[in-house]
A and B are shown apart, each in its own frame.
Chain A
């Protein structure tokens, strides 16, 4: 049974966007701080540190996770996905990201990473959601710029586009 001492730093290893990463963390180091300041993955943002605003939402082993309410040591050995892992290539955007850009679904962009992660996980589980389901999902995020409707529209359009792509691959 490993007991990690409060006074020491411990090596934490996990898979981030498909690649193994490691760094040093105290037991109390929050995953949000660890990702941003140890690993340098600054795309995940911190907005409240009490689990309400949703800006820091990441995917841990397929589970939506508030990085501010998770300890770095808790994700030892897990597969973590963040906004940096969404695009198919550095100079391209994913279907969802592109829909956000078309619909002006972001303004300051600070809450966006968390929202993208929620939608990314959600649309895999629910490929054909209605507006109500998307709004219900988004209610776990606070956005102060957009009034949300452009985000809802982008999500629904991306879902439709992803279904089409999915349909084509299945039929092929």
Chain B
């Protein structure tokens, strides 16, 4: 279980990394924390010709709150974000969700943007990004662009990022007084979610994000409902997400969790707001 051969580039600037991506296209892959990607390399599921290590590019390690958004550079590791003083105020939902991401031993190396780029439909950070209406800042040697989270994820591990682009940063809008809550059901602590729910509740309504069910994280706006009306809305969402069976859980179970955990997450977010 050893990787196939590849060249290794230790990029010293964003421009250098982008130059390699520009030349090699889909044969090149960015290596950041490597916590998902290295397993695929070892299993030879991935066989890039060249890996571009961006962890020594200092500008990518920026982590800042400004202009209504928490902006996280591609070099920011998950553990650093979790320990960031501004996290609780800047992104309380992430503060609640991030402890569910892997384990201390993977958060220490894994990056925030790496998880977004990997686009695992069960992962917590993509779910937060979609729920919070965050943005992905993409850059290529040609140009840069900013893509809304809901346009970024296009399917199972599939994103709108072109082969010559890399994620330079992601940004999460800072909260405007919403109540937030996050709940996740997994087989074991730290496993990929069978269902994860992220809820934001404000005067304008409820926004519920669901991970682990559809091929990508999905968030929906729901009016401020209660009782059976909320149950109906959740049931509609549960059916809409096209849940599937896998070795860990049935489709029916996933829908059940969307209804039940979705509801308890929304209620918790309401309490959090109050």
Asked if A and B bind, the verdict is: yes
| A6 close to B (CB within 8 Å) | yes
Using a CB-CB cutoff of 8 Å, which residues 47-75 of chain A contact chain B?
A: 49-51, 54, 57, 60, 63-66, 68-71, 73-74
| B189 close to A (CB within 8 Å) | yes
Q: A69-B39, A140-B104 are in contact. Are A74 and B2 (CB under 8 A)?
A: no
Q: Which residues of B contact A122 (CB under 8 A)?
A: 104
**1/0 per residue B219-235: CB within 8 Å of A?**
00000000000000000
Instruction: Compute how far the CA of A68 lies from the CA of B26 in the bound complex, rounded to whole angstroms.
Output: 25
| A150 close to B (CB within 8 Å) | no
**A51 lies within 8 A of B104 (CB):** no
Q: How far is the CB of A4 from chain B (nearest CB, A)?
A: 4
**1/0 per residue A138-168: CB within 8 Å of B?**
0111000000000000000000000000000
- The residue of chain B having its C-beta at the shortest distance from the C-beta of A59 within the complex is B108
Number of interface residues of A (CB under 8 A): 36
Instruction: Compute how far the CA of A64 lies from the CA of B7 in the bound complex, rounded to whole angstroms.
Output: 26
Q: A30-B42, A74-B53, A139-B189 are in contact. Are A66 and B8 (CB under 8 A)?
A: no
| A7 close to B (CB within 8 Å) | yes
| A27 close to B (CB within 8 Å) | yes
Contact of B105 among A5, A6, A57, A73 (CB under 8 A): A57
**A65 lies within 8 A of B53 (CB):** no
- The residue of chain A having its C-beta at the shortest distance from the C-beta of B17 within the complex is A1
| B55 close to A (CB within 8 Å) | yes
| A3 close to B (CB within 8 Å) | yes
**B7 lies within 8 A of A5 (CB):** yes
Q: How far is the CB of A7 from chain B (nearest CB, A)?
A: 7
Q: How far is the CB of A117 from chain B (nearest CB, A)?
A: 9
Using a CB-CB cutoff of 8 Å, which residues 1-53 of chain A contact chain B?
A: 1-7, 26-28, 30, 33, 49-51
Q: Which residues of B contact A57 (CB under 8 A)?
A: 105
Q: How far is the CB of A21 from chain B (nearest CB, A)?
A: 19
Q: A27-B51, A139-B189 are in contact. Are A51 and B7 (CB under 8 A)?
A: no
**Which residue of B8, B38, B109, B190 has the most chain A CB atoms within 10 A of its CB atom?**
B8
**A26 lies within 8 A of B188 (CB):** no
Instruction: Compute how far the CA of A115 lies from the CA of B80 in the bound complex, rounded to whole angstroms.
Output: 21
Instruction: Give A residues with C-beta under 8 Å from B.
Output: 1-7, 26-28, 30, 33, 49-51, 54, 57, 60, 63-66, 68-71, 73-74, 76, 118, 122, 136-137, 139-141
Given A6-B7, A66-B105, output 6 extra A-B contacts at Cβ < 8 Å.
Answer: A3-B50, A6-B6, A6-B49, A51-B106, A64-B108, A69-B34
Some 17 contacts from A to B, beta carbons below 8 A apart, are A3-B7, A3-B9, A3-B50, A5-B7, A6-B7, A27-B51, A28-B5, A28-B6, A49-B39, A51-B38, A60-B109, A63-B77, A63-B109, A64-B105, A66-B109, A69-B35, A139-B189
